[in-house]
Structure 1
Amino acid sequence: MGTARATAPGPIRALKPMLPVQPAVPTATPTPPALVRPALFAQARAAMERHPQIRNRHRMALVDFTAPSSDPRLHIVNMLDGTTTSYLVAHGSGSDPDHSGWLERFSNAPGSNASCSGAFLTADPYVGKHGPSQRLIGLDPTNDNALSRAIVLHGAWYAEPTLASARGKLGRSQGCFAVGDSVRSQVMAQLGRGSLIYAAKLVV
């Protein structure tokens, strides 16, 4: 029997690195979800198109300050299928000086303790005096002081449903979007970084 010859290995090809698959940009739902005012939804969609800084287009949050604080008025909309989750959210004391439960006015001024309107970009999470919180960047002239004013998303005991049931209204923040401590982690997880929060009060 002859001796088998070893076959010399051929040249090794360099493998091309696999590129990550980019998720498709979802198309916004053509009609507003049932819980969201159509005019507010239209304004929020326009804001999303206007601001390229908004990277996460799968979800957006709409804060309907037309409603009283006793109503779930923070609506997080899944832009893929239109499903909506709604939460209570407090407004600033400077926006409701008589503590009626209704937002009366907005302000972008430092020291006003008021809520401000417009498009916000969710930024870095951090841990502050209210526990885990999320910084917000104001994208419009009506809220471009949000970062310097420390207008953030945070949890608060005074934004819990039990308080709304007992008193008919929530407590007030210093201008921040304050949600109940019991849902804060859920809200932050749904939004993440790079999402839109759009706040407005409509004339009805």
Structure 2
Amino acid sequence: MSMAARLAALAPGADPKVIDLALKARDCAINSGDATGQGEKLAIIDYSMPSTQKRLWVFDLRNPRVLYNEFVAHGAGSGENFARAFSNLDGTHQTSLGLFRTAETYEGHNGYSLRMDGLDKGFNDNARARAIVMHGAWYVDPSMVQKVGRLGRSQGCPAVRAQVAHEIIDTLKGGQFVFSYYPDNRWLHESRILACASMHPQAIVASR
């Protein structure tokens, strides 16, 4: 059984095609030298799902298992309950798509946070300059759904519940991978990382 199939069996709520795409993008980054080391943890965020669903999965690839399945916010500029618009530009408050390599942690305005470097040129490589980081946020809470019909939104960061932020960040820090997905035609067809993976991403668009 392939790694993608094993992970899909462990995470029935995740789209198997998105898992497969994330793994191939990760392999591409490692094999092309864009990322050093193996990165044994992989977070996958499926932004085709609404914010009211747990659309973040953190996988352990060495001993295949799901470490976390959590809520995650998208940028205020990306949409309401559903994210629809994505950007690599500062000031848009939109989420970025593609593969990220995690880096160092720091204490900032949003508390304990994790810096990420975008590996998808033209789509997320401004992440560090834009301060697109993983952090905890009070507005990432199911109780928000009862009030406004969606989670709160970030300024483009993949914010998670404050109660689990520290442990998720510690799991992902220092050279792991985060893959942010949405069936965006331009990204699917122009991403260098996806092209390197020798995929046919249009098949994923058609499956949606």
RMSD: 1.7
Amino acid at match of 1:135: R
- Whether contact under 8 Å (2:4, 2:16) holds in the other structure is no
Q: 1:108 aligns with which of 79, 88, 93?
A: 88
Q: Which runs of 5+ in 2 are unaligned?
A: 184-204
- Whether contact under 8 Å (1:61, 1:198) holds in the other structure is yes
Is 1:40 matched with 2:11? Answer: no
Amino acid at match of 2:133: V
Identical pairs, percent: 34
C-alpha displacement at 1:35, in angstroms? 2.6
- Whether contact under 8 Å (2:113, 2:135) holds in the other structure is yes
Describe the superposition over 1:43-74 as per-residue Cα deviations: whole angstroms up to 9, x where unpaired: 11111111121535322000000100010111
C-alpha displacement at 1:192, in angstroms? 2.2
> In terms of Rg, which structure is larger?
1
Is 1:152 matched with 2:133? Answer: yes
- The TM-score with structure 1 as length reference comes to 0.80
Structure ranking higher in helix proportion: 2
SS at match of 2:127: coil
Is 1:92 matched with 2:75? Answer: yes
Give the Cα separation in 1 of the matches to 2:139 and 2:90: 23
Give the Cα separation in 2 of the matches to 1:82 and 1:29: 10
Is 1:197 matched with 2:178? Answer: yes
Q: 2:53 aligns with which of 71, 80, 83?
A: 71
The residue number in structure 1 matching 2:142 is 161
- Whether contact under 8 Å (2:93, 2:155) holds in the other structure is yes
Count residues in correspondence: 175
Give the Cα separation in 1 of the matches to 2:3 and 2:125: 26
Amino acid at match of 1:180: R
Give the Cα separation in 1 of the matches to 2:28 and 2:139: 34
SS at match of 1:132: strand
Describe the superposition over 1:126-180 as per-residue Cα deviations: whole angstroms up to 9, x where unpaired: 0000001000100002101111011000110000222234433101100001101
